[in-house]
Each structure stands twice: as C-alpha cells, then as structure tokens.
Amino acid sequence: MRMVKFALLLAAAATAALPQDWPQFRGNARLTGVTTAPIPDQLKVLWTWEVGGGDPIESSAAIAGGVVYVGTGAGELVALGLNTGKLKWRYKTEQPIGESSPAVAGNLVYVGDLGGTVHAVNTADGKAAWTHKTFSEVKSSPVVFGDRVLIGSYDQSLYALNVKTGREVWTFKTNGPVHCTPGVMNGFTYVSGCDENFRAIRVTDGNESFHVNTESYIGASPALADQMAFFGTYDNQIVAVDFTAKKVAWRYEHAQRKFPFYSSAAVVGDKLVVGGRDKMLHCLNTKTGKPVWTFMTKARIDSSPAVSGARAYFGSNDGRFYVVDINTGKPVWEFETGAPISASPALVPGKIIVGTQDGKLYCFGAK
C-alpha cells in the first residue's frame, strides 16, 4: 500500500506544471485552466506564425522548455521557438489534427489526429517515437500521468498507453464517443462523456470507481477542484458533480439564453469561468452555482478561458481575443484577429499563445 501511494505521489509530481510551462490542454492534469504565470497588463502582438493553405488551428498550444507545440488542420505537429516564433521542426501526421492538443512530458510530445492515431514525437528533432491506432477519430487531448498517456477516442474508448512504447495498458469502453480530455486527480481519471455519464476510473487498472448519470450530452472536459468536477452540457447547463456524495451538486442554466456549453471551465478559488454558445462568458460561484456576472461577445465562445491573477483570457468566434477581469466581468483588453478563435490560450510568464481558424498562431506579450 505504501508503495502504491508513493508511486501516485511520484506520478503527480511528474505531471505538475512548472510556472514557466503550459505542458498540456488546460495547463495541468486537473484541467483547471489556471496558472500563476504573470501576464503583462498591456499587451501587443510579439509574433505570428501561419500554417498556410487556409488550414485551421483548432488545437490549443502546449509550451515547455521555451518551445511552443501545436497541431494543425494541415496534418502537422509543429514546434516553434517561444521567443521568436521560428519553426524548429514539423512532424507529419498525415491526417489533420483537430481539437486534440499536444501534451509534453520528458523528451516526448503526444497528440491525436482525426484518423484515430495517437502520436509520440521526440521533442529534440520531431522524429516519431511511436504511434498507436484507435478505431475512430481522436479529438481528446492526451494527459500524461506517471508512465501512462490517457486519451479518448470516438471509438467510445478511453485508452491508457505506456508513455515509452505506446502499448495499451488498459482500455475502458463507454457508451459513446470519448470527446473530452480526461482530467486526473488523486489517482483517478475523470471523464465527462458523450454517453451522458460522468465517470471516475482508477488510473492503475482502468476499473470504474463510480459514475453519475448527468442526463445530458457532454462535449466539454471536466475541471477538477475541491473534490468536485465542473463541466458544461449540450442541454444548456453547467453541472457540478460531488465526488464524495457521487451525485450532481448543482446545475446552472441562464434565465433567458438557452444555448449549449462546449467550452471547458477555468476554476480559481470560488469562481468558475466558462464560455457559452450563447456568446457569453459566464462566471459562477463554485459552491452554489449562482451567477456572479456575464460578459457578452458577438459570437459563440468555444474557446476555453485561461486564468492568471484576476484576469481571464479567451477567444470568441467573433474573431476577437478578450481579456476580462474575473472579479467584475469588465473588459480589460481585446484584439481583432479577423478569424474565429475556437482554440484555447496557453499562458506562460510574459506571453500568451493562441491559434485561429484561418491558421494563424499569435503570441501576445508586453507592449
């Protein structure tokens, strides 16, 4: 028992994000979208990089060791210098990379493609380490926990793969596509499923601990905090699940505007911040689910907000990148990209990286 606990502690330490890195989708394995990295009050564009050919960037960037990793609709995983935006290498996946966002751990970067293949690539030179084929497209983002890569597929399965070989350690079958990115906390991985179930699965052996029927189709990934999970649904609600009671703690639905939530939530303190297809960024109290404020944009928000300090950073399909004060809901800054933004921002000290639907990657930093 002591050895198991020790192994879990090592695994947690291995996947903890350093303040200077944003190594995976939502920044950490709990998918909270929060960092302590300081972001300048005044921002400007430091550099841009283009995919070319009109192919989109729906993948959210990962940043580690001064390198930006992002997948593209052109079927490439690319590595760029954080400070310069200069291309370091390209890795061809053959099939487009959709919403699957890279995860970096050790000397490997992992990502899934729309052909259903999970790729592990050497960070030094962009050469393939291994590939693993699932039976349908992969839009889920990989999460590395200890010696395992956790990732979902539209073949209705959650996979745990060995980080070095890609060999299946276990597979958990659900009753619908596994679109979400699995969150990890306290030795369990949590999946908000397209089969309307929220599941807790033990990382060591792939056995289910419990599940909660949410009665809603879910596209968003769960944010995990204080023995709770928070996620949006296609039934126009934000749902909180209590791990101890193993049931839904509360549901939030806007009084007038009834639209799905596809964006994944950021959770900091007693605040939850999430975008909706009702064009609004919502801030809720995590304990009660009561609304604190809303901020209106001009199109739906599928981009998942990232939080540093008292500010939330996110994109909208109206082609703008926004900065909003999380205490007041007041706008602080915005930038017109001219193309919808469905990817989520990655934050590291002094810089923000985000991609657009017209295939541009932006780096914002100190003005």
DSSP string covering 51-103: -STT----SPPEEETTEEEEEETTTEEEEEETTT--EEEEEE-SSPP-S---E
The tokens describing 172, both together, are: 């958990």
Average pLDDT score over the chain: 94
User: Which string of DSSP letters, residue by residue, matches 24-55?
Assistant: STTSSTT---EE-----SSEEEEEEEE-STT-
Query: Which alpha helices (H) appear in 163-315, and where do they start and end?
Result: none
Bridge-based pairing state of the strands 360-366 and 351-355: antiparallel
Q: Specify the pTM.
A: 0.94
Instruction: Indicate if the pLDDT at residue 11 is higher than 50.
Output: no
* Number of domains forming the structure of the chain: 1
Strand partners, 60: none
Q: Tally Cβ neighbours within 10 Å of residue 124.
A: 11
Host H or E run for residue 215 = none
Structural domain of residue 305, as residue ranges? 2-366
The pLDDT score that the predictor gives to residue 18 is 58
* CB-based contact 23:257 (threshold 8 Å): no
**Interatomic CA distance for residues 221 and 184, integer angstroms:** 11
**Interatomic CA distance for residues 172 and 208, integer angstroms:** 8
The pLDDT score that the predictor gives to residue 258 is 87
* Mean pLDDT across 125-145: 98
Apex 120 CA angle, 115 and 125, nearest 5: 120
Structure confidence at residue 14 as a pLDDT band (50, 70, 90): very low
* CB-based contact 21:9 (threshold 8 Å): no
* CB-based contact 287:270 (threshold 8 Å): yes
Question: What are the tens digits of pLDDT across the range 312-345?
Answer: 999 999 999 999 999 999 999 999 999 999 999 9
DSSP one-letter code for 317? T
The pLDDT score that the predictor gives to residue 8 is 42
* Mean pLDDT across 249-269: 94
The pLDDT score that the predictor gives to residue 128 is 98
Question: What are the tens digits of pLDDT across the range 177-186?
Answer: 999 999 999 9
Give whole-number Cα distances, 296 to 102, 159, 222, 277, 331, in Å. Answer: 30, 38, 23, 11, 10
Question: What are the tens digits of pLDDT across the range 25-73?
Answer: 999 999 999 999 999 999 999 999 999 998 999 999 999 999 999 999 9
Strand partners, 50: 360
DSSP one-letter code for 292? E
Q: Residue 38 is part of a domain; what is its CATH number? A: 2.130.10.10
